Amino acid sequence: MCGICGIIDHKKVLSTSERENLVTLMNKTQAHRGPDDNGIYSDSCVSLGHVRLSIIDLSSAGHQPMSYMDRYEIVFNGEIYNYIELRSELEAAGYTFKTHTDTEVIMASIDHFGKKECLSHFNGFWAFAVYDRADNSVFMSRDRYGVKPLYYTTQPGYLIFSSEIKSMLEDKNIKRVANDQAILDYLVNSFVDCEDYTFFNDIYRLPAGSFMHVDKDGNMSIDKFYTLEYKETVSGKTTPSMVKKFRHLFQDSIKLRMRADVPVGSCLSGGLDSSAIVCETARQIEELKKANSEKISSEGDATGTAIYTPSTYSSCYKNSPNDESKYIKMVIDKTGVNGHYTYPTGESLRDDLDNLIYTQDEPFLSTSMYASYSVMKLAASKGAKVLLDGQGADEILCGYRKARVYYIKRLFKSHKFLSAIWESLLYLPYARKKGSSLAADLSMLRQFFGGKADNNDIRREYLNSSFAKMHVKNSYKDNERYLVNDFEKISLPALLRYVDRNSMAFSIEERLPFLDFRLVEYCMKLPLGVKIERGFSKYIMRRALDMPEGIRTRRDKIGFYTPELDWIRKYSDEYRKVFENENFKASRYIDRDKILRDWDKLLEGKDSIGLFRYICLEKWMEIFNVGAAV
């Protein structure tokens, strides 16, 4: 796992020394992504930069930018998990290798299969740029689901790209102007990272499952190499063969993601996803120990997997009704892993918030990101370099409450009234908020049976009046592609950005077993009734995977929880100063006078979702010195 950057300047707007100096600064700005090594390649029109986090082949042979066949030059961020199998195939075709890295396998694959064609052979996550000296072209790609980031912008005569936006901002020619559409998406519709544009005007992300080609004249084109196939069937029963197939795909995904020359740990929240990962990892490690007939060591076996006792890292809240410690303990007791804990507080959030926003590059939706940030900080303090995590499971297995509402609506539309009533009644006790009223429960039932939630459009109330009138995109909701939209547009892209920035801020690589493309494609074609049954989400997963029974049967997991409003209340005077600042930068977007007038009401929960976002937006504009669009 690494950081990459580069400048493509076929028109030679910049001198070679100017490009090299800029790439040096870009490397330095994202050095946290790769503290083990760094390098620069430069010729008359292209400069590439790389910072390395050594995970596979820890020797200096893994240095990047890396050359191959005196033709290709690559900077690569990610992992190709099936590189061992690909390497064998390429060796049989006559290719030779000087290193044991997956980086070299990418370039041989490009030469053997073709630039676009090679991408379908990779199982992993990646963002890379390859300079082909044969025709002075640059080929860039991002993995199927966009786990690894790749940003770019064009300036007069040249293109600049990087793993992180803050790195690109070292180019003083880039204007730091906010993107109105991204901010409106964020404040009103809770959308972030759903489109190719970012919160910065004229800075874009290369779409997931895409590649970019820049020819010798500097002409740029972007195309898709992957489209997720989605088939929605409402009703269906979970069969033993489905369970067996799911289990096999998951176990093989874990096996591939344990390939490393350093120990692989795991995040552990106490929910189904991380618990299943930890239990399966522990099982496979025990099998390796038995097969190798050796004690715990840091040496790997023939598959490239290190043998060790796994460690887990968890975020907990003492004396909180939402604390997950008892569930985490169930997993630790079952597997014997080494458990480590962190305890985020309102005080630590206050102290870390500026750095968290700087880490993320762009505004984020809630303080739940701080739980992840704190876990990564803990793991780094314990020397971890690779962690497994459960992102993607909710999206492919209907884990969210909104997916259950969607399923019940689909049952209703399909005239399966008894099933719809039965599922809604089974789920209602777990969907309702503590202390909710009968009216609130009836409102939720109306959502189940095709109605819309009560909505007084509170999120526009605290926006600048002219800005609030702008049109908000809403094309991702309430249509027959709802679940795949959630995967591709609404939920997952934001989570992947959060995961990447939080982990890489502490020089940790996070691997996501539920996003193995084989498992994703299988689950996206399963009937909804296989994913949700008898009030349980992720039903097939509960049947297929090993975990403590107390976790297998729970239905109340709420994800990364943080007591956001309580934390803001505790330091309300300090957060109020964000809006009292005479140099308030977000006035184009936020009606700060109304926020200050209603401050006590907001602390009571009048706009509990929006309050943090107003704070986050203003602090982001301040930290990155971003101006509002004119």
Cβ pair 492, 479 in contact under 8 A: no
Of 268, 298, 538, 256, nearest to 396 (Cα)? 538
Alpha carbon of residue 322 to chain centroid = 24
Query: Is there a catalytic annotation at residue 267?
Result: no
Cβ pair 56, 261 in contact under 8 A: yes
Cβ pair 77, 148 in contact under 8 A: yes
Give the C-alpha separation, 618 to 182, whole Å. Answer: 14
Does an H or E element contain 214, and which?
strand 210-214
Structure tokens at 294: 């050796």
Structure tokens at 90: 């390429």
Out of 2, 118, 194, 279, the active site residue is 2
Of 361, 379, 433, 378, nearest to 401 (Cα)? 433
Cβ pair 127, 77 in contact under 8 A: yes
Per-residue CA distances from 137 to 10, 45, 48, 214, 538 (Å): 9, 10, 13, 6, 45
Cβ pair 27, 3 in contact under 8 A: yes
Helix axes 608-623, 572-580, angle to 10 degrees: 60
Per-residue CA distances from 569 to 7, 397, 566 (Å): 46, 36, 5
End-to-end C-alpha distance for the chain, whole angstroms: 39
Angle subtended at Cα 574 by Cα 573 and Cα 579, rounded to the nearest 5 degrees = 90
Give the C-alpha separation, 77 to 62, whole Å. Answer: 12
Give the C-alpha separation, 495 to 282, whole Å. Answer: 26
Structure tokens at 363: 């505004």
Of 341, 319, 353, nearest to 571 (Cα)? 353
Encode 49-85: b = buried (16+ Cβ within 10 Å), e = exposed: bbbbbbbbbeeeebbbbbbbeeebbbbbbbbbbbbbe
Per-residue CA distances from 605 to 121, 327, 608, 612 (Å): 50, 29, 5, 11
Enzyme catalytic residues: 2
